[in-house]
Amino acid sequence: MGIDPGLRTTGWGVIEATGSRLTHVANGLCPSGEGALAARLLSLHDQLTDIVLRFAPDTAAVEQTFVNRDAAGTLKLGQARGIALLVPARAGLEVGEYAPNAVKKTVVGVGHADKRQIDHMVRLQFPGVAIAGADAADALAVALCHAHHMQTGGRLAAALARAGA
């Protein structure tokens, strides 16, 4: 499961990785609306909890916060990111964290790709899949990045085990 945290809209995407084969399971958006920050964070928590219960992923990954000039905005986004980390961790899932540039480099091939390029590459990976929006495409990109890193880590562990045997 990949999560692209946001205060107004959080994207999520669930994929299945079987060997090197990646299959789309579901994707969507968690709108947290307007109003008090605490109510928006509670809404995000409840929606993500429902998604984790519904799709029962084995692992999760969350995109790290991009720090910009608006310190207050970055801090608030960090609180939404905290919910995005908490929900899968509370469900007992291992949670990976990836910098935005690492996700872009894994999915597009360059670390400074824009949202259109990410959306395009995700659609190429999952042809014919309806993607709920740009935030859902970003979340699927996070899931793809995590799957790639998990596969690489698995191959490394297998190679180390063979070398030590």
Binding-site annotation: residue ranges: 4, 63, 135
Q: Is there a catalytic annotation at residue 58?
A: no
Total count of residues recorded for the chain: 165
97 is catalytic: no
Q: Is the alpha carbon torsion for 13, 132, 40, 73 positive or negative?
A: positive
Per annotation, catalytic residue among 58, 63, 70, 114 = 63
Contacts (Cβ under 8 Å, ≥6 apart) of 111: 101, 102, 104, 105
C-alpha distances in Å from residue 15, one per residue of 28, 110, 141, 143? 12, 22, 10, 7
Active site residue 63: yes
Q: Which residue has the tokens 């995700």?
A: 122
72 CB contacts (<8 Å, ≥6 apart)? none
For the annotated binding site for Mg(2+), the residues are 4, 63, 135
Surface-to-core class of residue 87, CB atoms within 10 Å of its CB (0-12 exposed, 13-18 middle, 19+ buried)? buried
By annotation, the residues acting in catalysis are 4, 63, 135
